[in-house]
Copies of this chain bind each other. A is one copy, B any other.
Amino acid sequence: MAEKRYLFTPGPTPVPPQVLEAMSRPIIHHRSSDFREILGRCLDRLHEVYRTQGDILIYTASGTGGMESAVSNLAGPGDRVVVVSAGFFGERWAAMARNFGCEVAEVAYDWGEAPAAEDVSARLRELGGAKVVFLTHSETSTGVVADVQSLAAAAKDAGALVVVDAVSSLGAVPLETDAWRIDCVISGSQKALMTPPGLATVSVSPDAWAAVDEGAPSRFYFDWTQTHERQEQFDPAFTPAVSIVVGLDVALGLLLDEGLEQAFERHARLGRACRAGAKAMGLELFSPDDDRSAVVTAIHSPEAIDSGELVQTLRDRQGIVLAPGQGPLKGKIFRIGHIGYYDVFDITTALAGVELVLGELGADIERGAAITAALEAFEHTRV
C-alpha cells in the first residue's frame, strides 16, 4: 500500500474533504454569475473573519504577493518605514521594503524573541515618525505570536500606518482588524483558512487608501486601486484562481460555522497539548510556553540530533511532514504546525512519530508519556 501522508506543517495545511470536493467540480468562468455569487459570499465571509468594515482584496499569489502589494502601494523610494523583525518573515518585510527603495529602520530582535510595544514607540520617537510600520503577527519561523494589538497601538499613536502579516495567524488566533486600528492585514489561503495555496487576501483601511500614491510607478499586478475597482464590479482585472476561490468560500463557511471564538479556543488548546506532549517527552520548547503560541510549536532537537535529519527521517520513514528550522535555527529546532483543519489526534500522531524516530536516532527521551500528557492538556484545560 502506498504510504499514508500526514501533513503537520504551518502551511500548506490539510484541506477538509468538503473543500477538496468543491474544488474538483467543473471549472467556472470568473466573469459568470455563478462565480459572482461565490466571490461575493467569500468576500462577506472574509470580512467576518478579518473583523473589518474596510475593503478586502483577493490576489492570486502566495502570501508574499499580498505583502508586496502593501509595500508597493503604501511606500516607495525614499519613504521611511519601520520593520519590526524577530524571525524569517520579519526579515522578509525588510528585504522587500529595501527592494522597493524604502528607507528601512528596523526594530530587530533575536529570532524567537517577542517584540515589545515600548521599543516600537521609542524607535518612532527617535526617528521622528515613519510612514508605515510593518509587523508580523505569527512569526512562523519561531512559533512566536506577537501582541499585535499593543504593537499596532504604539505605531498608530505615532501617526504611522500599520501593516500586519497575518498569513499564518488569521482564523487561528484573535485578530481585530478594525478594533485594533490595523490599516492592512495580509493573509493566505493555505494556513488556518484550510484551502490550498494560491490566494493572498489583503484588507485596506480608509487611512491606507488615503496614503496610496496613485501616480507611483512599479506596480501593475498588485495595484490596489485597479484590483479594487474591478473586484467591486465582479469583473476581476486578471483571471483569478477560480477553483481556489471556490475552495476558500467553503472553508470560510466551515470556520464560521464552528465560530471564530471557538476556533481560537481550539487552537489555544492544540498549542497547549503540543507543548505538554513535547515537555513530557523531555524535550525543550523553543517557542514560548504561553497560550498565545497557538499556531506552530517550535521545539529544540535533542543534543547531538540535527533537527533537519529528524524531519527528513519522519518524512521518509513515516510519511509525517513537519517543518525544520530556518535561518539561524536550521538543524536546531523542528516545528509542528497546528492550524486549520486540525484536531488533537493530529497532535498525538505528530508526537508519536517524533517519539518513535527520536528513539531510533538514539535520543534519550521519555517513551509513552507524550500522548497522555497531550490528551490531558487538550481535554482538561479551557482557555
Interface digits, A230-255 against B, CB 8 Å rule (1 contact, 0 not)?
00000001111111100000000000
Shortest Cβ gap from A317 to chain B (Å): 12
Q: Which residues of B contact A11 (CB under 8 A)?
A: 239
CA distance in complex: A237, B63 (Å): 11
Among candidates B7, B9, B65, B237, residue contacting A26 with C-beta atoms closer than 8 Å: B7
* Main secondary structure on A side of the interface with B: loop
Q: Which residues of B contact A60 (CB under 8 A)?
A: 60-62, 65, 197-198, 241
Among candidates B24, B26, B188, B244, residue contacting A239 with C-beta atoms closer than 8 Å: B188
Q: State the number of copies, please.
A: 2
Q: Which residues of B contact A9 (CB under 8 A)?
A: 29
Q: Which residues of B contact A310 (CB under 8 A)?
A: none
Q: Which residues of B contact A352 (CB under 8 A)?
A: none
CA distance in complex: A1, B238 (Å): 32
Interface digits, A265-296 against B, CB 8 Å rule (1 contact, 0 not)?
00000000000000000000000000000000
Question: Is there an interface contact between B26 and A24, defined as CB atoms closer than 8 Å?
Answer: no
Q: Which of A16-56 contact B (CB under 8 A)?
A: 20-21, 23-30, 32-34
Is the C-beta of A12 less than 8 angstroms from some C-beta in chain B? yes
Interface digits, A192-223 against B, CB 8 Å rule (1 contact, 0 not)?
00001110000000000000000001111111
Q: Which residues of B contact A5 (CB under 8 A)?
A: 26, 28, 34
Shortest Cβ gap from A214 to chain B (Å): 12
Q: List 9 A-B contacts (CB under 8 A).
A: A5-B26, A5-B28, A12-B27, A30-B197, A60-B61, A64-B220, A196-B243, A197-B243, A243-B244
Q: Which A residues form the contact surface with B (CB < 8 A)?
A: 5, 7, 9, 11-15, 20-21, 23-30, 32-34, 60-65, 68, 71-72, 77, 95-96, 99-101, 188, 190, 196-198, 217-223, 237-244, 315-316, 321
